[in-house]
Structure 1
Protein backbone atom coordinates (compact mmCIF):
# COMPACT_ATOMS: atom_id res chain seq x y z
CA UNK A 1 0.00 0.00 0.00
CA UNK A 2 2.80 2.43 0.89
CA UNK A 3 4.51 1.76 -2.42
CA UNK A 4 1.22 2.37 -4.26
CA UNK A 5 0.74 5.74 -2.50
CA UNK A 6 4.28 6.76 -3.41
CA UNK A 7 3.70 5.87 -7.06
CA UNK A 8 0.46 7.88 -7.09
CA UNK A 9 2.20 10.94 -5.66
CA UNK A 10 5.00 10.58 -8.21
CA UNK A 11 2.50 10.23 -11.05
CA UNK A 12 0.57 13.33 -9.89
CA UNK A 13 3.81 15.31 -9.76
CA UNK A 14 4.65 14.32 -13.32
CA UNK A 15 1.16 15.20 -14.50
CA UNK A 16 1.41 18.66 -12.92
CA UNK A 17 4.80 19.46 -14.43
CA UNK A 18 4.96 21.85 -17.36
CA UNK A 19 5.88 20.34 -20.71
CA UNK A 20 7.03 21.73 -24.06
CA UNK A 21 3.48 22.12 -25.36
CA UNK A 22 2.64 24.38 -22.41
CA UNK A 23 4.97 27.15 -23.62
CA UNK A 24 3.71 29.70 -26.15
CA UNK A 25 6.01 32.33 -27.68
CA UNK A 26 4.39 35.71 -28.33
CA UNK A 27 6.20 37.51 -31.17
CA UNK A 28 5.68 41.17 -32.01
CA UNK A 29 6.56 42.19 -35.57
CA UNK A 30 5.61 44.68 -38.28
CA UNK A 31 4.83 44.69 -42.00
CA UNK A 32 5.52 41.00 -42.63
CA UNK A 33 4.08 39.01 -45.53
CA UNK A 34 6.28 35.92 -45.11
CA UNK A 35 7.22 33.65 -42.21
CA UNK A 36 10.82 33.43 -43.44
CA UNK A 37 12.03 35.79 -40.70
CA UNK A 38 11.34 33.02 -38.20
CA UNK A 39 14.20 30.97 -39.63
CA UNK A 40 16.65 33.53 -38.21
CA UNK A 41 15.03 33.27 -34.78
CA UNK A 42 14.92 29.49 -34.52
CA UNK A 43 18.22 28.32 -35.97
CA UNK A 44 18.55 24.89 -34.33
CA UNK A 45 15.03 23.54 -34.94
CA UNK A 46 12.23 24.35 -37.42
CA UNK A 47 10.06 27.22 -36.15
CA UNK A 48 6.86 25.28 -36.72
CA UNK A 49 7.87 22.82 -33.99
CA UNK A 50 7.11 25.53 -31.40
CA UNK A 51 3.84 27.12 -30.34
CA UNK A 52 3.96 30.64 -31.74
CA UNK A 53 1.53 33.54 -31.68
CA UNK A 54 2.60 36.32 -34.04
CA UNK A 55 1.08 39.80 -33.88
CA UNK A 56 1.85 41.51 -37.19
CA UNK A 57 1.17 45.26 -37.15
CA UNK A 58 0.67 46.02 -40.81
CA UNK A 59 -1.67 47.29 -43.53
CA UNK A 60 -4.43 45.49 -45.39
CA UNK A 61 -2.14 45.29 -48.42
CA UNK A 62 0.62 43.40 -46.60
CA UNK A 63 -0.80 40.48 -44.67
CA UNK A 64 0.95 37.56 -43.05
CA UNK A 65 -0.50 34.03 -43.16
CA UNK A 66 0.42 30.66 -41.66
CA UNK A 67 -0.38 27.15 -42.81
CA UNK A 68 0.91 25.61 -39.57
CA UNK A 69 -1.70 24.94 -36.84
CA UNK A 70 0.69 25.81 -34.00
CA UNK A 71 1.92 29.03 -35.67
CA UNK A 72 -0.94 31.46 -35.25
CA UNK A 73 -0.86 34.84 -37.00
CA UNK A 74 -2.94 37.89 -36.17
CA UNK A 75 -2.73 40.88 -38.51
CA UNK A 76 -3.65 44.16 -36.81
CA UNK A 77 -3.88 47.63 -38.30
CA UNK A 78 -2.62 49.83 -35.50
CA UNK A 79 0.80 50.77 -34.20
CA UNK A 80 2.51 50.51 -30.84
CA UNK A 81 4.54 47.76 -29.20
CA UNK A 82 2.44 47.71 -26.02
CA UNK A 83 -0.73 47.37 -28.09
CA UNK A 84 0.86 44.43 -29.87
CA UNK A 85 1.81 42.81 -26.56
CA UNK A 86 -1.73 43.27 -25.23
CA UNK A 87 -3.26 41.71 -28.34
CA UNK A 88 -1.00 38.71 -27.76
CA UNK A 89 -1.92 38.43 -24.07
CA UNK A 90 -5.62 38.48 -24.95
CA UNK A 91 -5.31 35.78 -27.60
CA UNK A 92 -2.65 33.51 -26.08
CA UNK A 93 -3.57 29.98 -25.02
CA UNK A 94 -0.34 28.61 -23.56
CA UNK A 95 -0.01 27.95 -19.84
CA UNK A 96 3.34 29.77 -19.91
CA UNK A 97 4.04 32.65 -22.27
CA UNK A 98 7.38 34.00 -23.44
CA UNK A 99 7.59 37.62 -24.66
CA UNK A 100 9.52 37.83 -27.93
CA UNK A 101 10.64 40.28 -30.60
CA UNK A 102 11.46 39.59 -34.23
CA UNK A 103 15.20 40.34 -33.92
CA UNK A 104 16.25 37.71 -31.38
CA UNK A 105 17.77 34.24 -31.65
CA UNK A 106 16.85 31.35 -29.38
CA UNK A 107 19.66 28.97 -28.39
CA UNK A 108 19.21 25.25 -28.17
CA UNK A 109 17.63 24.24 -24.88
CA UNK A 110 15.95 27.58 -24.11
CA UNK A 111 12.54 25.94 -23.81
CA UNK A 112 13.79 23.35 -21.35
CA UNK A 113 15.45 26.09 -19.27
CA UNK A 114 12.16 27.96 -18.93
CA UNK A 115 10.15 24.87 -18.04
CA UNK A 116 12.77 23.73 -15.53
CA UNK A 117 12.54 27.10 -13.76
CA UNK A 118 8.75 26.94 -13.49
CA UNK A 119 8.72 23.33 -12.37
CA UNK A 120 11.24 24.21 -9.66
CA UNK A 121 9.24 27.30 -8.59
CA UNK A 122 5.69 26.05 -8.67
CA UNK A 123 4.08 29.12 -7.06
CA UNK A 124 5.93 31.88 -8.97
CA UNK A 125 3.81 33.60 -11.66
CA UNK A 126 6.52 35.58 -13.50
CA UNK A 127 10.15 34.61 -14.13
CA UNK A 128 12.74 36.80 -15.87
CA UNK A 129 15.86 35.26 -17.37
CA UNK A 130 19.14 36.44 -18.96
CA UNK A 131 20.15 37.55 -22.46
CA UNK A 132 23.39 36.79 -24.24
CA UNK A 133 24.82 39.16 -26.83
CA UNK A 134 25.73 37.92 -30.29
CA UNK A 135 29.35 38.00 -29.06
CA UNK A 136 28.46 35.43 -26.41
CA UNK A 137 28.68 37.84 -23.46
CA UNK A 138 26.01 38.66 -20.86
CA UNK A 139 23.84 41.53 -22.10
CA UNK A 140 23.86 43.11 -18.65
CA UNK A 141 25.51 42.64 -15.26
CA UNK A 142 23.24 39.96 -13.89
CA UNK A 143 23.04 38.61 -10.36
CA UNK A 144 24.61 35.22 -9.75
CA UNK A 145 21.70 33.82 -7.75
CA UNK A 146 17.89 33.98 -8.00
CA UNK A 147 16.04 36.81 -6.26
CA UNK A 148 12.64 38.46 -6.28
CA UNK A 149 12.35 41.89 -7.87
CA UNK A 150 10.86 44.90 -6.15
CA UNK A 151 9.28 47.84 -7.96
CA UNK A 152 12.53 49.83 -7.84
CA UNK A 153 15.01 47.42 -9.42
CA UNK A 154 13.26 46.52 -12.68
CA UNK A 155 14.90 49.11 -14.93
CA UNK A 156 17.32 46.78 -16.71
CA UNK A 157 14.92 43.91 -17.42
CA UNK A 158 14.49 43.41 -21.17
CA UNK A 159 11.11 42.47 -22.57
CA UNK A 160 12.62 39.39 -24.21
CA UNK A 161 13.66 38.07 -20.79
CA UNK A 162 10.09 37.97 -19.45
CA UNK A 163 7.99 34.82 -19.10
CA UNK A 164 4.76 34.37 -17.16
CA UNK A 165 1.93 32.05 -16.27
CA UNK A 166 -0.90 33.30 -18.46
CA UNK A 167 -3.60 32.50 -15.92
CA UNK A 168 -1.91 34.68 -13.29
CA UNK A 169 -1.76 37.66 -15.66
CA UNK A 170 -5.43 37.32 -16.54
CA UNK A 171 -6.53 36.87 -12.95
CA UNK A 172 -4.93 40.21 -12.05
CA UNK A 173 -5.64 42.01 -15.35
CA UNK A 174 -1.91 42.53 -15.78
CA UNK A 175 -1.43 44.17 -19.19
CA UNK A 176 0.94 46.64 -20.83
CA UNK A 177 0.49 50.39 -20.46
CA UNK A 178 -0.27 51.55 -24.01
CA UNK A 179 0.99 55.09 -23.36
CA UNK A 180 4.53 53.68 -23.15
CA UNK A 181 6.74 51.67 -25.51
CA UNK A 182 7.98 51.94 -29.09
CA UNK A 183 5.32 53.41 -31.36
CA UNK A 184 3.42 54.90 -28.40
CA UNK A 185 3.28 58.49 -27.14
CA UNK A 186 6.22 57.83 -24.80
CA UNK A 187 8.60 55.42 -26.52
CA UNK A 188 10.25 53.73 -23.57
CA UNK A 189 9.70 51.67 -20.41
CA UNK A 190 6.82 49.39 -21.45
CA UNK A 191 8.45 46.41 -19.70
CA UNK A 192 9.18 48.43 -16.57
CA UNK A 193 5.55 49.49 -16.16
CA UNK A 194 4.25 46.03 -17.04
CA UNK A 195 6.32 44.42 -14.28
CA UNK A 196 5.56 47.21 -11.79
CA UNK A 197 1.87 46.62 -12.43
CA UNK A 198 2.39 42.90 -11.86
CA UNK A 199 4.13 43.42 -8.52
CA UNK A 200 1.56 45.97 -7.35
CA UNK A 201 -1.14 43.43 -8.26
CA UNK A 202 0.45 40.91 -5.90
CA UNK A 203 2.39 38.85 -8.45
CA UNK A 204 5.92 37.86 -7.52
CA UNK A 205 8.60 38.39 -10.17
CA UNK A 206 11.61 36.10 -9.93
CA UNK A 207 15.00 36.55 -11.55
CA UNK A 208 16.44 33.22 -12.67
CA UNK A 209 20.15 33.32 -13.69
CA UNK A 210 20.00 31.29 -16.89
CA UNK A 211 20.29 32.41 -20.52
CA UNK A 212 17.30 31.90 -22.79
CA UNK A 213 17.81 34.34 -25.68
CA UNK A 214 20.46 36.03 -27.85
CA UNK A 215 20.29 39.68 -28.92
CA UNK A 216 22.67 42.25 -30.34
CA UNK A 217 24.45 44.21 -27.63
CA UNK A 218 22.79 47.47 -28.69
CA UNK A 219 19.32 48.27 -27.41
CA UNK A 220 17.01 51.15 -28.33
CA UNK A 221 17.17 52.16 -24.66
CA UNK A 222 20.90 52.84 -25.08
CA UNK A 223 20.23 56.06 -26.99
CA UNK A 224 20.76 58.11 -23.85
CA UNK A 225 20.97 61.48 -25.60
CA UNK A 226 18.07 61.06 -28.01
CA UNK A 227 15.16 63.45 -27.61
CA UNK A 228 12.80 60.50 -28.05
CA UNK A 229 14.25 58.75 -25.02
CA UNK A 230 14.59 61.83 -22.81
CA UNK A 231 11.01 62.88 -23.56
CA UNK A 232 9.67 59.41 -22.73
CA UNK A 233 11.93 58.84 -19.73
CA UNK A 234 10.85 62.06 -18.03
CA UNK A 235 7.18 61.23 -18.57
CA UNK A 236 7.89 57.88 -16.95
CA UNK A 237 9.66 59.57 -14.06
CA UNK A 238 6.60 61.75 -13.46
CA UNK A 239 4.39 58.67 -13.53
CA UNK A 240 6.57 57.02 -10.88
CA UNK A 241 7.66 59.94 -8.72
CA UNK A 242 5.28 62.84 -9.35
CA UNK A 243 7.02 66.20 -8.81
CA UNK A 244 10.20 64.27 -8.01
CA UNK A 245 10.57 63.92 -11.77
CA UNK A 246 12.03 67.45 -11.91
CA UNK A 247 14.85 66.33 -9.63
CA UNK A 248 15.49 63.25 -11.79
CA UNK A 249 15.51 65.41 -14.91
CA UNK A 250 18.28 67.60 -13.46
CA UNK A 251 20.14 64.49 -12.30
CA UNK A 252 19.88 62.98 -15.78
CA UNK A 253 21.16 66.16 -17.42
CA UNK A 254 24.11 66.20 -15.04
CA UNK A 255 24.82 62.58 -15.97
CA UNK A 256 24.84 63.49 -19.70
CA UNK A 257 27.22 66.39 -19.09
CA UNK A 258 29.51 64.46 -16.69
CA UNK A 259 29.86 61.60 -19.18
CA UNK A 260 30.47 64.16 -21.95
CA UNK A 261 27.55 62.88 -23.96
CA UNK A 262 26.27 66.47 -24.20
CA UNK A 263 28.16 69.76 -24.01
CA UNK A 264 27.22 72.44 -21.51
CA UNK A 265 25.65 74.46 -24.33
CA UNK A 266 23.68 71.42 -25.45
CA UNK A 267 21.98 70.87 -22.10
CA UNK A 268 19.29 73.52 -22.51
CA UNK A 269 17.56 71.83 -25.50
CA UNK A 270 17.61 68.55 -23.54
CA UNK A 271 16.09 70.33 -20.54
CA UNK A 272 13.26 71.63 -22.71
CA UNK A 273 12.65 68.16 -24.12
CA UNK A 274 12.48 66.63 -20.65
CA UNK A 275 10.12 69.33 -19.38
CA UNK A 276 7.92 68.74 -22.43
CA UNK A 277 7.70 65.04 -21.58
CA UNK A 278 6.63 65.81 -18.02
CA UNK A 279 4.10 68.42 -19.10
CA UNK A 280 2.55 66.21 -21.78
CA UNK A 281 2.15 63.37 -19.31
CA UNK A 282 0.54 65.73 -16.80
CA UNK A 283 -1.97 66.72 -19.50
CA UNK A 284 -2.82 63.06 -20.05
CA UNK A 285 -3.44 62.64 -16.33
CA UNK A 286 -6.07 65.37 -16.52
CA UNK A 287 -8.08 63.26 -18.99
CA UNK A 288 -8.39 60.46 -16.37
CA UNK A 289 -7.18 57.99 -19.01
CA UNK A 290 -4.01 57.29 -17.04
CA UNK A 291 -3.01 57.08 -13.39
CA UNK A 292 0.00 58.33 -11.47
CA UNK A 293 2.50 56.06 -9.73
CA UNK A 294 1.91 53.02 -11.90
Structure 2
Protein backbone atom coordinates (compact mmCIF):
# COMPACT_ATOMS: atom_id res chain seq x y z
CA UNK A 1 0.00 0.00 0.00
CA UNK A 2 1.46 3.37 -0.99
CA UNK A 3 0.99 6.60 0.98
CA UNK A 4 1.47 10.07 -0.46
CA UNK A 5 1.43 13.44 1.35
CA UNK A 6 -0.33 16.24 -0.56
CA UNK A 7 1.26 19.52 0.54
CA UNK A 8 -0.13 23.00 -0.17
CA UNK A 9 2.55 25.67 0.20
CA UNK A 10 3.70 29.03 -1.16
CA UNK A 11 6.92 30.69 -2.32
CA UNK A 12 9.28 27.79 -1.74
CA UNK A 13 12.66 28.42 -3.38
CA UNK A 14 14.37 25.14 -2.52
CA UNK A 15 13.58 21.60 -1.36
CA UNK A 16 14.22 22.10 2.36
CA UNK A 17 10.50 21.72 3.07
CA UNK A 18 10.98 17.97 2.77
CA UNK A 19 13.26 17.95 5.84
CA UNK A 20 11.34 20.63 7.73
CA UNK A 21 8.12 18.63 7.53
CA UNK A 22 9.91 15.36 8.33
CA UNK A 23 8.37 13.71 5.27
CA UNK A 24 8.95 9.95 5.29
CA UNK A 25 6.82 8.91 2.34
CA UNK A 26 6.18 9.96 -1.23
CA UNK A 27 4.72 13.44 -1.59
CA UNK A 28 3.23 15.85 -4.09
CA UNK A 29 4.11 19.44 -3.21
CA UNK A 30 2.06 22.21 -4.81
CA UNK A 31 4.00 25.46 -4.54
CA UNK A 32 2.03 28.59 -5.42
CA UNK A 33 4.51 31.23 -6.48
CA UNK A 34 5.15 33.53 -9.45
CA UNK A 35 6.37 31.04 -12.04
CA UNK A 36 5.70 27.57 -13.42
CA UNK A 37 8.12 24.73 -12.78
CA UNK A 38 8.31 21.01 -12.05
CA UNK A 39 10.99 18.91 -10.46
CA UNK A 40 11.34 15.43 -9.01
CA UNK A 41 13.47 14.79 -5.93
CA UNK A 42 14.51 11.25 -5.00
CA UNK A 43 15.48 10.93 -1.36
CA UNK A 44 15.54 8.10 1.17
CA UNK A 45 13.84 5.81 -1.35
CA UNK A 46 10.92 8.21 -1.70
CA UNK A 47 9.75 10.38 -4.58
CA UNK A 48 8.87 14.05 -4.07
CA UNK A 49 7.13 15.74 -6.99
CA UNK A 50 7.25 19.52 -6.69
CA UNK A 51 4.93 21.57 -8.90
CA UNK A 52 5.21 25.37 -8.95
CA UNK A 53 2.33 27.41 -10.33
CA UNK A 54 1.68 31.13 -10.71
CA UNK A 55 -1.76 30.95 -9.13
CA UNK A 56 -3.48 31.41 -5.79
CA UNK A 57 -6.00 29.56 -3.62
CA UNK A 58 -5.45 26.73 -1.16
CA UNK A 59 -8.41 24.76 -2.55
CA UNK A 60 -6.86 24.93 -6.00
CA UNK A 61 -3.57 23.56 -4.61
CA UNK A 62 -5.34 20.70 -2.87
CA UNK A 63 -7.34 19.83 -5.98
CA UNK A 64 -4.19 19.96 -8.11
CA UNK A 65 -2.51 17.47 -5.81
CA UNK A 66 -5.56 15.22 -5.50
CA UNK A 67 -5.98 14.89 -9.24
CA UNK A 68 -2.34 13.80 -9.60
CA UNK A 69 -2.01 11.25 -6.81
CA UNK A 70 -2.21 7.58 -7.66
CA UNK A 71 -1.50 6.41 -4.12
CA UNK A 72 -3.68 4.08 -2.07
CA UNK A 73 -3.81 6.59 0.78
CA UNK A 74 -3.12 10.31 0.92
CA UNK A 75 -2.63 12.91 3.64
CA UNK A 76 -3.81 16.49 3.21
CA UNK A 77 -1.03 18.74 4.52
CA UNK A 78 -0.03 22.35 5.15
CA UNK A 79 3.57 23.46 5.21
CA UNK A 80 3.63 24.36 8.93
CA UNK A 81 3.38 20.73 10.01
CA UNK A 82 6.13 18.42 11.26
CA UNK A 83 5.11 14.78 10.95
CA UNK A 84 5.86 12.34 13.74
CA UNK A 85 8.37 9.59 13.06
CA UNK A 86 6.71 6.53 11.60
CA UNK A 87 3.54 8.28 10.43
CA UNK A 88 3.16 6.07 7.32
CA UNK A 89 2.75 3.03 9.57
CA UNK A 90 0.31 4.93 11.82
CA UNK A 91 -1.90 5.82 8.86
CA UNK A 92 -1.85 2.35 7.39
CA UNK A 93 -2.62 0.80 10.78
CA UNK A 94 -5.69 2.99 11.24
CA UNK A 95 -7.03 2.07 7.81
CA UNK A 96 -6.44 -1.59 8.74
CA UNK A 97 -8.37 -1.03 11.97
CA UNK A 98 -11.20 0.74 10.11
CA UNK A 99 -11.29 -0.99 6.70
CA UNK A 100 -14.64 0.57 5.77
CA UNK A 101 -13.43 4.14 6.42
CA UNK A 102 -12.93 6.36 3.39
CA UNK A 103 -11.43 9.20 5.43
CA UNK A 104 -9.70 9.14 8.82
CA UNK A 105 -9.18 12.29 10.87
CA UNK A 106 -6.15 12.47 13.17
CA UNK A 107 -5.08 14.80 15.96
CA UNK A 108 -2.51 17.57 15.58
CA UNK A 109 -0.26 18.66 18.43
CA UNK A 110 0.38 22.34 19.17
CA UNK A 111 1.60 24.46 22.08
CA UNK A 112 -1.61 26.40 22.70
CA UNK A 113 -4.24 24.08 21.30
CA UNK A 114 -7.63 25.48 20.34
CA UNK A 115 -8.53 22.64 18.00
CA UNK A 116 -10.87 19.83 18.94
CA UNK A 117 -8.88 16.87 20.27
CA UNK A 118 -10.24 13.38 19.65
CA UNK A 119 -9.88 11.32 22.82
CA UNK A 120 -11.88 8.31 21.69
CA UNK A 121 -12.58 7.09 18.17
CA UNK A 122 -15.98 7.95 16.72
CA UNK A 123 -17.79 8.21 13.42
CA UNK A 124 -17.99 11.72 12.02
CA UNK A 125 -21.47 12.80 10.97
CA UNK A 126 -23.47 15.85 9.92
CA UNK A 127 -23.65 17.07 13.51
CA UNK A 128 -19.92 17.14 14.31
CA UNK A 129 -17.96 17.46 11.05
CA UNK A 130 -17.43 21.22 11.35
CA UNK A 131 -14.84 20.83 14.12
CA UNK A 132 -12.11 19.48 11.82
CA UNK A 133 -9.63 21.08 9.42
CA UNK A 134 -8.19 19.64 6.22
CA UNK A 135 -4.64 19.11 7.52
CA UNK A 136 -5.92 16.36 9.84
CA UNK A 137 -7.35 14.25 7.03
CA UNK A 138 -6.12 10.97 5.59
CA UNK A 139 -8.17 9.59 2.72
CA UNK A 140 -8.51 7.03 -0.03
CA UNK A 141 -8.00 9.12 -3.22
CA UNK A 142 -9.83 6.66 -5.42
CA UNK A 143 -13.01 7.07 -3.33
CA UNK A 144 -12.82 10.86 -3.55
CA UNK A 145 -12.38 10.66 -7.32
CA UNK A 146 -15.17 8.11 -7.74
CA UNK A 147 -17.58 10.49 -6.03
CA UNK A 148 -16.39 13.55 -7.93
CA UNK A 149 -15.51 15.47 -4.75
CA UNK A 150 -13.13 18.42 -4.75
CA UNK A 151 -12.27 21.48 -2.65
CA UNK A 152 -14.35 24.63 -3.16
CA UNK A 153 -12.40 27.30 -5.04
CA UNK A 154 -14.09 30.30 -3.40
CA UNK A 155 -13.19 29.39 0.20
CA UNK A 156 -9.82 29.18 1.93
CA UNK A 157 -6.60 31.17 1.83
CA UNK A 158 -6.08 33.12 -1.39
CA UNK A 159 -9.81 33.19 -2.25
CA UNK A 160 -12.67 35.66 -1.71
CA UNK A 161 -13.70 33.86 1.52
CA UNK A 162 -10.73 33.31 3.77
CA UNK A 163 -11.58 29.90 5.24
CA UNK A 164 -14.07 27.04 5.14
CA UNK A 165 -12.90 24.94 2.20
CA UNK A 166 -12.20 22.01 4.54
CA UNK A 167 -15.66 22.21 6.13
CA UNK A 168 -17.37 22.16 2.74
CA UNK A 169 -15.15 19.27 1.64
CA UNK A 170 -16.12 17.13 4.62
CA UNK A 171 -19.80 17.92 4.17
CA UNK A 172 -19.58 16.90 0.50
CA UNK A 173 -17.96 13.63 1.55
CA UNK A 174 -20.79 12.92 3.98
CA UNK A 175 -23.43 13.92 1.43
CA UNK A 176 -21.90 11.48 -1.06
CA UNK A 177 -22.08 8.64 1.44
CA UNK A 178 -18.42 8.34 2.40
CA UNK A 179 -17.53 7.10 5.88
CA UNK A 180 -15.37 9.34 8.08
CA UNK A 181 -13.78 8.21 11.34
CA UNK A 182 -11.92 10.39 13.87
CA UNK A 183 -9.20 8.64 15.88
CA UNK A 184 -7.18 9.60 19.00
CA UNK A 185 -3.85 9.36 17.19
CA UNK A 186 -1.46 12.30 16.75
CA UNK A 187 -0.06 12.59 13.26
CA UNK A 188 1.98 15.80 13.33
CA UNK A 189 2.97 18.87 15.28
CA UNK A 190 2.25 22.43 14.21
CA UNK A 191 5.34 24.63 14.19
CA UNK A 192 3.45 27.92 14.74
CA UNK A 193 6.15 29.86 12.92
CA UNK A 194 3.67 32.01 11.04
CA UNK A 195 0.54 33.98 11.70
CA UNK A 196 -2.82 32.66 10.61
CA UNK A 197 -3.45 33.18 6.93
CA UNK A 198 -7.14 33.81 7.52
CA UNK A 199 -7.84 35.00 11.08
CA UNK A 200 -6.89 38.59 11.92
CA UNK A 201 -9.47 39.27 14.60
CA UNK A 202 -13.24 39.49 14.82
CA UNK A 203 -13.57 41.86 11.90
CA UNK A 204 -16.47 42.51 9.56
CA UNK A 205 -14.81 40.28 6.96
CA UNK A 206 -14.53 37.43 9.47
CA UNK A 207 -18.29 37.45 9.99
CA UNK A 208 -19.17 38.05 6.35
CA UNK A 209 -17.02 35.06 5.37
CA UNK A 210 -18.69 32.98 8.06
CA UNK A 211 -22.12 33.92 6.74
CA UNK A 212 -21.08 32.98 3.20
CA UNK A 213 -19.81 29.64 4.47
CA UNK A 214 -23.06 28.83 6.25
CA UNK A 215 -24.99 29.68 3.08
CA UNK A 216 -22.74 27.36 1.05
CA UNK A 217 -23.22 24.56 3.59
CA UNK A 218 -26.99 24.90 3.73
CA UNK A 219 -28.76 27.23 1.27
CA UNK A 220 -32.07 26.70 3.10
CA UNK A 221 -31.08 26.45 6.75
CA UNK A 222 -28.21 28.93 6.87
CA UNK A 223 -30.13 31.48 9.04
CA UNK A 224 -30.35 28.86 11.80
CA UNK A 225 -26.61 28.12 11.46
CA UNK A 226 -25.90 31.83 11.81
CA UNK A 227 -28.09 32.15 14.90
CA UNK A 228 -26.59 29.14 16.65
CA UNK A 229 -23.11 30.44 15.88
CA UNK A 230 -23.89 33.82 17.45
CA UNK A 231 -25.43 32.20 20.53
CA UNK A 232 -22.62 29.70 21.10
CA UNK A 233 -19.58 31.79 20.20
CA UNK A 234 -20.36 35.24 21.58
CA UNK A 235 -17.95 36.40 24.31
CA UNK A 236 -17.95 39.97 25.57
CA UNK A 237 -14.30 39.98 26.65
CA UNK A 238 -12.77 39.09 23.27
CA UNK A 239 -13.46 42.29 21.36
CA UNK A 240 -16.33 40.86 19.35
CA UNK A 241 -18.98 43.07 17.77
CA UNK A 242 -22.42 42.97 19.37
CA UNK A 243 -24.68 40.07 18.54
CA UNK A 244 -26.81 42.40 16.42
CA UNK A 245 -23.79 43.55 14.44
CA UNK A 246 -22.59 39.98 13.97
CA UNK A 247 -26.01 39.03 12.62
CA UNK A 248 -25.93 41.94 10.18
CA UNK A 249 -22.44 41.05 8.91
CA UNK A 250 -23.20 37.34 8.48
CA UNK A 251 -26.51 37.85 6.74
CA UNK A 252 -24.79 40.31 4.40
CA UNK A 253 -22.07 37.75 3.69
CA UNK A 254 -24.67 35.08 3.02
CA UNK A 255 -26.13 37.21 0.24
CA UNK A 256 -22.86 37.15 -1.69
CA UNK A 257 -22.56 34.79 -4.63
CA UNK A 258 -20.76 31.57 -3.70
**Structure 1 pair 67/245, CA: closer, same or farther in 2 (3 Å)?**
closer
Secondary structure (helix, strand or coil) at the match of 1:35 reads: coil
C-alpha displacement of 1:109:
2.2
Structure 1 runs not aligned, ≥5 long: 1-17, 285-294
Confirm or deny that 1:226 pairs with 2:200: no
**Structure 1 pair 94/277, CA: closer, same or farther in 2 (3 Å)?**
same
Confirm or deny that 1:214 pairs with 2:194: no
Deviations 1:183-224 (A, max 9, x none): 112121111111111111111001111110111578667656
TM-score (norm 2): 0.86
**Structure 1 pair 200/63, CA: closer, same or farther in 2 (3 Å)?**
same
Q: Which runs of 4+ in 1 moved over 4 A?
A: 216-224, 250-257, 266-272
Which is helix-richer, 1 or 2?
1
**Structure 1 pair 171/33, CA: closer, same or farther in 2 (3 Å)?**
same
**Structure 1 pair 254/85, CA: closer, same or farther in 2 (3 Å)?**
same
Is the 2:74–2:141 Cα contact (8 Å) retained in structure 1?
Answer: yes
Is the 1:32–1:64 Cα contact (8 Å) retained in structure 2?
Answer: no
Q: 1:261 aligns with which of 221, 232, 238?
A: 238
Which is strand-richer, 1 or 2?
2
User: What is the root-mean-square deviation in Å for CA atoms of aligned residues?
Assistant: 2.7
Aligned length: 253
Name the structure 2 match of 1:31: 11
Name the structure 2 match of 1:121: 98
C-alpha displacement of 1:240:
2.7
Name the structure 2 match of 1:182: 157
Confirm or deny that 1:93 pairs with 2:70: yes
Query: Could you tell me how far apart the structure 2 residues matched to 1:142 and 1:274 are?
Result: 28
Is the 1:33–1:65 Cα contact (8 Å) retained in structure 2?
Answer: no
Structure 2 runs not aligned, ≥5 long: none
Is the 2:121–2:181 Cα contact (8 Å) retained in structure 1?
Answer: yes
Q: 2:215 aligns with which of 238, 262, 265?
A: 238
Is the 1:225–1:256 Cα contact (8 Å) retained in structure 2?
Answer: no
Which structure has the bigger radius of gyration?
1
C-alpha displacement of 1:38:
2.8
